[in-house]
Amino acid sequence: MKVTQRVRKILSCYEADNPGSKTNLARILMTGKLAGTGKMVILPVDQGWEHGPARSFAPNPPAYDPHYFFKLAVDAGLNAYAAPLGQLEAGADTFAGSVPMILKLNNSNSHATTKDQAITASVGDALRLGCAAVGFTMYPGSDDQFEMVEEIREIAEEAKSCGLAVVIWSYPRGGNLSKEGETAIDVTAYAAHLAAQLGAHIIKVKPPTDFIEQPDAKKVYEAQNIDVSTLSARIAHVLQSSFNGRRLVVFSGGAAKGTDEIYDEIRQLRDGGASGSIIGRNSFQRSREDALKLLNDIVRIYQGKF
């Protein structure tokens, strides 16, 4: 595997990591149509667990088959495919070596009444399946946040000792956070910073709004004239909050939206310096043909060609 100078520069920012973790991070960065650019588009498919099969797959019935997602990620030329244990096990042999896999180690479901997730897989599972990384969701702000922090600290230590990369989904919710505050710029930047502090190689957060949740933070944003007027400016601030751009930060696609709206958002992510996108429902709930076109266009946006 040839590694570009751009990717080598990114790897140099992870100064405490062993060659194994850096190799697996390089596998992700050197795969697909964006290989070597330092940008990523990742397919995440945990929605069956999180929302139920009908809500997730009925709009595009071929997606009930776990093999569908491996094929989609490969044919679209994506950097990686992230999913829970059972979904990866269902295609890991057939698609071995075809696309880097990220094993999601914790999950929730639509029946849950607390802002927490259960541990549903292990670092050992990730090694057995040949994954490049493990993924973990934490909820800053929730009543269970400190337990989740302790869980990911232990998991990250084990994963890195085995040469795996670590991806943290950092989604503020619960506790005293308002619904609007879950995607507020101050809260999102804080969530990304927490994931960086916990040792994430790749951080996943939602695109932030210009709302500021915390009164004390609002005073600072105003006093220091921190620009939050556009999405691209807010993205740049989130990257700044992630060790001044020394950590890879990808942004979720979020709820279903129109194609033009997706393209506009991706362009603003790119212009703000985002490391890429991790886009699930907005791709796989479309027909395969439409999903491939959408994902190809998103790749072209990050390449500066669309």
- Residues acting as catalytic residues: 204
- Number of other CB atoms surrounding residue 162 within 10 Å: 16
How far apart, in whole angstroms, are the C-alpha atoms of residue 122 and residue 141? 25
- Number of other CB atoms surrounding residue 78 within 10 Å: 28
Judged by DSSP in three states, 80 sits in strand
Structure tokens at 294: 């959408």
Q: Which one-letter DSSP state was computed for residue 226?
A: -
Among 4, 64, 1, 6, which Cα is nearest to 248's? Answer: 6
How far apart, in whole angstroms, are the C-alpha atoms of residue 272 and residue 287? 30
Structure tokens at 138: 């934490």
Structure tokens at 262: 């997706």
Sign of the CA dihedral 286, 68, 7, 209?
Answer: positive
Cα 237 to chain centroid distance, Å, stands at 18
Ramachandran angles phi, psi of 244, nearest 5°: 55, 40
